[in-house]
Amino acid sequence: MTSNFDYGRPENWDDPLVMPNIPDLLERILVAVDGSYQSERAISQAAFLAKLTQAEVIVVVAYNPITKLHRRGLLPSEEIIESMRLDAHELANEATALLTTKNIKVRAIAARGDPAEAIVTLAEEEKVSLIIMGHRGLGNLKRFLLGSVTERVLQTSSIPVLIQP
C-alpha cells in the first residue's frame, strides 16, 4: 500500500549525524531516588554518565508526609513526618555511599514537600544538566486523580529528563 501524501524530507536529510560531546554537556546530574527498583537503575545510569563526564551527582529523595484525619481537618502526624524524614535521609545516605565507592562526586538532599515540585525546583536551583528518574506505574485511578511524579516532572521541567524504565 502506498501513500498519496509526500511529506518531503528535510533539506539536511543526507548530512551526517553529529554526536554531541557529552562531557561538555553534563556538569551536574540530579537523580531522584525513592527506593524502588527503577530508582536503583536510575542511580546506576547516573553513575555511568558521571564516570563518563566527571559530572557531580546530586541525589534527591523527596517525601511528602501523609496526613491523618483530625476533628478539625487534616493534620500531619508528627510521628509519620519524623519517620519519613529518617527514611529519606537513610535512603539518601545509601545512594551517596554507593556512588562514593565508585569515586563519583556526590551529595544528597532530602526534600520535604510535593516530590515533583521538589525535584524540578532543586534541579533549577542547582543548575543541573540532566534529571534521571525511574518510572513507577500507578493505578489508573490514582494516576487520573494525581498524576505520577515522573509525568509531572516531565511536564514542568525545562531541564532534560532521562526516564529509567
Ranked by mean pLDDT, the top range of 69-83, 100-114, 136-150 is: 100-114
pLDDT reported for residue 57: 98
pLDDT at 81 over 90: no
Tell me the average pLDDT of the chain.
83
Query: What is the reported pLDDT for 11?
Result: 78
Distance (Å, rounded) from C-alpha 47 to C-alpha 54? 10
Question: Is-above-0.95 flag for pTM?
Answer: no
- Check pLDDT > 90 for residue 160: yes
Asked if residue 48 belongs to a domain, the reply is yes
140 band by pLDDT with thresholds 50, 70 and 90? very low
Q: What is the pLDDT of residue 135?
A: 82
Considering only CA atoms, which of 112, 153, 147, 101 is closest in space to residue 132? 153
Domain for residue 15, yes or no? no
Name the residue range of residue 53's domain. Answer: 27-164
On whether residue 84 sits in a domain, the answer given is yes
Q: Does 43 fall in a domain?
A: yes
pLDDT at 139: 43
pLDDT per position as a tens digit, 16-63: 777 666 667 899 999 999 988 888 999 999 999 999 999 999 999 998
Asked if the structure places residue 127 within a domain, the reply is yes
Mean pLDDT over 133-146 rounds to 56
**How many structural domains are present in the chain?**
1
If pLDDT is split at 50, 70 and 90, which confidence band does 69 have?
A: low
What share of the chain in percent tops pLDDT 90? 55
CATH number, domain containing residue 80: 3.40.50.620
Determine, yes or no, domain membership for 9.
no
